[in-house]
Structure 1
Amino acid sequence: MLRTVNRVLVGLAGLLLLCVGGAVLAAGLDLGVPSWWPWRGPDAVLLGEARRGRGEWRWPAAVALLAVLLVLALGWLVAQLRRRRLTEVLVDTGDGEGAVLRGRALEGAVESEAATLEGVSRASVRLTGRRTAPAARLSLLLEPHASPADTLSHLTTGALAHARTSAHLPALPAEARLRAAKRRPGRVT
């Protein structure tokens, strides 16, 4: 969803900047702007003395609008820079110090064990959340003969349980997305 919002926002911002820039360029070069256009020629001013004195509420409203736009733009920038994948997991070793486990190592262990389950042709795992409370997102491609209920049961009692106990996590919430592999129809002769 964030990818779609990014594309729409960047597209709208680009279109707005292109239109405004083209209009300012056409007015500045005096390239036949329409008669209703408020600025004509390179010597035209954006707000004249008469318009600037009118409406004392306009300037605070304009500043408030720009402040809201700035906050929205900064929030969008922070969302772009935030990492989606957990890089490390904090393992409680019992001595008060703790150890750090690479997130990719735990992902790889769960992924390889999930791929060995019966009926699973491909598995991918991504860790999200905080380093003290990770969560797993799994995507499994199932063979046509596989039972989704059995696969989920083996996944929770096998790969996810092993990952939870090996990293000494109190819980490892997981979201599994199961897809069926496409199978070519057999020929009947």
Structure 2
Amino acid sequence: MLRIVNRVLIGLVGLVLVVAGGSVLAVGLGVDPPSWWPHDGTHDVLLSDAERTRWRDADWWWPTVIAVLAVLVLLALWWLTAVLRRHRLAEVLVDTGDGEGALLRGSALEGVLTTEAARSNGIERAHARLTGRRSAPEARIRLLLQPHVNPGDALNTLTTQALAHAEDSAGLAALPAEVRLRGAGHRAERVR
């Protein structure tokens, strides 16, 4: 959801900046602007002296400007932290069966998934990452397959071994996974 909001906001801000900047540039280059456009000549400034000093004597002007700018800065900082925030799962809630729960570090489960997937036959390299919520984790796994491996067999082995063991050990009902497979290139070998 946050990714969609991020893209829409970036698109809207970009569109507004391109339209405003392009129209100011067009007027500056001598294109006749429409009648509603506030700047009508190539030597017209964006803010005249009258526009800049219009609200100087009003007591409410500067506190309002500062409050609006502060809200904009806070929104920009929130947006920045939301974009830069780690999307990894820090911990997984393990059902212990006694009504209580235990917390398992996400990095530990990622390490086990990576190690077990890398040990599978035909896997040259593996990397696992957990996302989602701590009560409903999801895995993202990247596998680099050796040249001779059937991708279907590698995926089946991963599902029946590494993912099944992770589900069982963490007491999860399911561990949905997105698996990305990539084949390793053939290396030239000398035949004797």
| Length, aligned pairs only | 149
**CA deviation after TM superposition for structure 1 residue 69, in Å:** 6.8
TM-score w.r.t. length of structure 2: 0.64
Q: Give the one of 114, 120, 125 matched to 2:128.
A: 125
**What is the CA–CA distance in structure 1 between the aligned matches of 2:104 and 2:175, rounded to whole Å?**
15
Structure 1 gap segments, 5+ residues each: 20-33, 50-65
TM-score w.r.t. length of structure 1: 0.65
Match of 1:23 in 2: none
Match of 2:114 in 1: 111
Match of 2:51 in 1: 46
Structure 2 gap segments, 5+ residues each: 22-41, 55-68
Look up the SS of the partner of 2:51 in the other structure.
Answer: coil
**CA deviation after TM superposition for structure 1 residue 39, in Å:** 5.0
**What is the CA–CA distance in structure 2 between the aligned matches of 1:38 and 1:104, rounded to whole Å?**
54
Matched, 1:139 2:150: no
Q: Give the one of 141, 165, 170 matched to 1:167.
A: 170
Structural RMSD (CA):
3.8
Quick one: which amino acid aligns to residue 130 of structure 1?
R
**CA deviation after TM superposition for structure 1 residue 96, in Å:** 1.4
**Aligned pair in 2 of structure 1 residues 45, 187: CA closer, same or farther (>3 Å)?**
farther
**What is the CA–CA distance in structure 1 between the aligned matches of 2:109 and 2:146, rounded to whole Å?**
25
Q: Give the one of 88, 91, 94 matched to 1:88.
A: 91
Match of 1:30 in 2: none
Quick one: which amino acid aligns to residue 36 of structure 1?
D
**Aligned pair in 2 of structure 1 residues 39, 73: CA closer, same or farther (>3 Å)?**
closer
**What is the CA–CA distance in structure 1 between the aligned matches of 2:46 and 2:84, rounded to whole Å?**
41
Look up the SS of the partner of 2:148 in the other structure.
Answer: coil
Equivalent pairs: percent with the same residue?
Answer: 56
**Aligned pair in 2 of structure 1 residues 170, 37: CA closer, same or farther (>3 Å)?**
same
Quick one: which amino acid aligns to residue 90 of structure 2?
T
